[in-house]
């Protein structure tokens, strides 16, 4: 398994690099992109761009591949292919479980887990992209009282109206019910809205499964837009 925490914005890995080992380069990740090769501009342009788009490396960006990549990463004529392959391997790594989520949250990297999960096992890239459009504030993993979700209907979501879609929804729920003995589901991802309601933006199948299991509280990560809204959220859930 690739340790993607060691992958730089341009898709390289500093581990084993001669320059880093002999001390002539501190490493892009450790120095936040301020390395000798980019001394004239002050910071690696690739690293700065990746951080601006809140991704670990270019292949994870919603704008990949952009026209600037071959110009900036001129030393690798196969950079698009390389980053594409790296992105595919990233997507195949498993983030859809409670243990991995807890590990990231325990290291104060909740938002990073949310992005990695949604772009891989969660299959919800639209939500991942949407979360990056404004500053969001996240709780860690909490035990979320299901009574706070009374505004969300039991059963299939209201936007599913076709019989086939509803049947598929419940078949997926049943698959989860059968798998929980050997799998801890990832936390629900819940939005605290400005009007005070909670909305499950990822995890309706998991929510229905927990409801069928008569759970009173479930693992969840709750997010809000704006510090003031997040402060109100913390008062409600006491986290």
Q: Looking at residue 53, what is its pLDDT?
A: 83
Of the two residues 225 and 77, the one the predictor is more confident about is 225
Q: What is the DSSP-derived secondary structure letter of residue 7?
A: B
Of the two residues 41 and 229, the one the predictor is more confident about is 229
User: Residue 179 pLDDT > 90, yes or no?
Assistant: no
Q: Looking at residue 68, what is its pLDDT?
A: 83
Q: Looking at residue 131, what is its pLDDT?
A: 96
pLDDT in tens, 121-133: 898 999 999 999 9
- Cβ 37 vs Cβ 45: under 8 Å: no
Average pLDDT over the chain, rounded to an integer:
88
β-bridge mates for residue 13, sequence order: 7
Question: How far, in Å, CA of 14 to CA of 5, rounded?
Answer: 11
Pairing of β 136-138 and β 142-145: unpaired
Residue 87, C-beta contacts closer than 8 angstroms, at least 6 positions apart: 59, 60, 64
pLDDT in tens, 131-178: 999 999 999 999 999 999 988 989 888 888 999 899 999 999 999 998
CA neighbor of 11 nearest in space, from 25, 24, 29, 23: 29
Instruction: Supply the DSSP string of 16-49, one letter for each residue.
Output: T-HHHHTTS---HHHHTT--GGGTTTSS-HHHHH
User: Residue 237 pLDDT > 90, yes or no?
Assistant: no
| Strand, helix or coil for residue 51 | helix
pLDDT in tens, 59-95: 888 888 888 888 888 888 888 999 998 888 776 667 8
Helix H or strand E encompassing 131: helix 125-131
Q: Looking at residue 55, what is its pLDDT?
A: 82
**For the chain, what are the domain ranges?**
4-92, 98-237
| Whether this model's pTM surpasses 0.75 | no
Q: Count of CB atoms within 10 A of residue 11's CB?
A: 21
């Amino acid at each position: 398994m690739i340790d993607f925490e060691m992958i730089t914005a341009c898709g390289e890995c500093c581990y084993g690099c001669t320059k880093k080992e002999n001390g002539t380069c501190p490493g892009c990740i450790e120095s936040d992109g301020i390395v000798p090769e980019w001394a004239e501009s002050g910071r690696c342009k690739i690293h700065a761009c990746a951080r601006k788009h809140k991704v670990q490396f270019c292949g994870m960006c919603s704008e990949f591949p952009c026209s600037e990549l071959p110009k900036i990463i001129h030393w690798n004529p196969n950079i698009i292919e390389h980053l594409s392959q790296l992105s595919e391997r990233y997507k195949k790594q498993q983030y859809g479980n409670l243990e991995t989520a807890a590990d990231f949250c325990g290291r104060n990297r909740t938002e990073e887990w949310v992005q990695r999960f949604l772009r891989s096992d969660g299959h919800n890239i639209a939500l991942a992209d949407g979360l990056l459009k404004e500053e969001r504030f996240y709780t860690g993993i909490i035990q979320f009282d299901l009574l706070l979700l009374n505004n969300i209907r039991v059963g299939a979501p209201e936007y599913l109206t076709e019989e086939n879609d509803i049947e598929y929804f419940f078949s997926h729920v049943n698959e989860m019910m059968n798998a929980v003995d050997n799998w801890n589901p990832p936390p629900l991802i819940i939005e605290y809205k400005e009007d005070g309601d909670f909305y499950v933006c990822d995890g309706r199948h998991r929510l229905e499964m927990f409801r069928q299991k008569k759970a009173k509280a479930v693992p969840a990560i709750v997010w809000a837009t704006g510090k003031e809204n997040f402060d109100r959220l913390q008062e409600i859930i006491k986290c």
